[in-house]
A and B are shown apart, each in its own frame.
Chain A
Amino acid sequence: MSLQFLLDGVIAGSMIGLGAIGVTLTYSILRFSNFAHGDFMAWGAYAALAVVGALGGSTALKPLSFGLPLLVALVVAMALTALLALVLDWLLFARLRARGQSIIVVMASFGASMALRSLLEFIFTSRPTYFSRAIQMATPLGLGIKITADQVALLLLTLVLVVGMHLFMAHSQRGREMRAYSQNPALAKVVGIDVAAVVRATWVIGAALACASGVMVGVLVQIRPLMGLSLLLPMFAAAILGGIGSVRGAVLGGLIIGLSEAAAVQFVGAEWRQAVAFVILMAVLLIRPIGLFGVAER
């Protein structure tokens, strides 16, 4: 039996995990589940596509399918997606948050998600598109597993982003402030933490990582307006499985869900892949709702 599905699962899990970091931070700091988070992914991928198009030239760094333009585009797109999130917060979420009913904010994110996604369909149509149509050679690793250069590069990128994120949360002052604010918003004010800056940082980080995840999906699979929506349930499930507020939990949860999905594709059938996240979500909610690294609410 080929163990290829393990690698596929790790790759899918990395993308889910990157997205789930934003979900878990938004939930623990801004206190709502953001249904528009998947659309940050899609917008990020399309933004990168637009920047690549504007930069022109297809100077792929062999054996990768992409070159410097995509890396530049990734950075620019991450900034643009962060900007989108900040604008959305300023126009919509901040105003509703101030009224204090978090479920209304969830509903607004739901409306925003629909508008954002359909706006992509309007601009780019629902037809899938690609960063590159080049066929890549896969190198055998043994045990029936083959890996492409793109996959290696993007797994490394994920590793860099996740480690960077961990260091930021653990050792930077802003990271500490974000954790402090998620534990006790009132006390955070008393000790002099600038809440507005914490909120901004949360949006910027969540959106930028969602964008990175979206670009990865775009490179390895395809770009389409619905790409974020179809990853929304796995991202929520990963964040809850990992324990809300926990960055390492979100990443681990993403990997578990990615691997389970790949196993389901291998042993049950590809058409049931999307049900995996739901089954895991229900199991977590019924058995251990605080997740792997979660802490009981006071």
Chain B
Amino acid sequence: MILQVKGLIAGYEPGLSIVKGASIHAAEGEIVVILGPNGAGKSSLIKAIAGLVPVTGGQVLLDGRDITAVPAHLMVRQGLAFVPQTENIFPLMTVEENLRVSGGILPRSGVSPRIAEMYEAFPDLARQRALMAGSLSGGQRQMLAVARALIVRPRVLMLDEPSAGLSPKLVAQVFAQLQEIRSRGLTIVLVEQNARAALAIGDRAYVLVEGREAHEGKAKTLWDDPIIAELYLGHRRAS
């Protein structure tokens, strides 16, 4: 089990927890999707795992090591990378500078070759390496944000609603990219509103309700479960 979260309690203000004892896990090479109604604490859960929301209880284990108390800026060194939902690039730096500044933990001589690898995986970015990141389109920004997270060779990649604000075509592109990344052995934890697209590429999924996981199952099964579909996924099966 590469990532294990046990009874996590977290919130911005003391006594006011948003994540209320959530337990999830992810196996090596798995895509795990976290779904749930608005305000269920999905976003806060992965932010808490990433060290961005104060944790008051529970445990986060990465490959067996306890990383619950690791400060946010040291998470990438532990092998955990995070792509926030919005403002996930540095707009006044070029595409290349965005990648370079994110490669701080790599050995100095390893940065440029790694950037070249990223350009190979994301050819769009290679073409726009000298552009200010703020001038990229929505889909390209998302690609840059993912590339920026991957540059440090993380073992687990967590994304907060990567489909938000993208057209269906771009969503398909981004998700195809995620599948491609997974095929190289990376573990992906995905928080999503777009249940259909996420479950289509996911292996397993959790439905989070009021700060705890309420259901867990194979992505395919969850999609077909009528009760869950009606309650939390916001679509009703005709048949």
Contacts and interface: CB of A to CB of B under 8 A. Distances in A.
B73 A192 contact: yes
A107 interface: no
A180 B73 contact: no
B214 interface: no
B50 A180 contact: no
Interface residues of A, number: 19
A242 B172 CA distance: 43
Interface in B64-97: 71-77, 82, 84, 87-93, 97
Contact of A190 (B82, B92, B100): B82
B87 A190 contact: no
Contacts of B76: 191-192
A180 B90 contact: yes
Contacts of A121: none
B92 A192 contact: no
Contacts, number: 64
A288 interface: no
Interface string A172-201: 010011011001101111111111000000
A192 B79 CA distance: 11
B121 interface: no
B228 interface: no
Given A187-B90, A192-B74, A177 B104 contact: yes
A192 B89 CA distance: 13
A192 B93 contact: no
B108 to A, nearest CB: 8
B102 A191 contact: yes
Contacts of A295: 92
Interface string B97-118: 1001110110000000000000
11 contacts: A179-B90, A179-B93, A187-B84, A187-B88, A190-B50, A190-B73, A190-B75, A192-B74, A192-B77, A192-B104, A193-B104
Given A180-B93, A191-B104, A295-B92, 10 more contacts: A176-B101, A184-B87, A187-B84, A187-B88, A190-B75, A191-B102, A191-B149, A192-B76, A192-B77, A193-B101
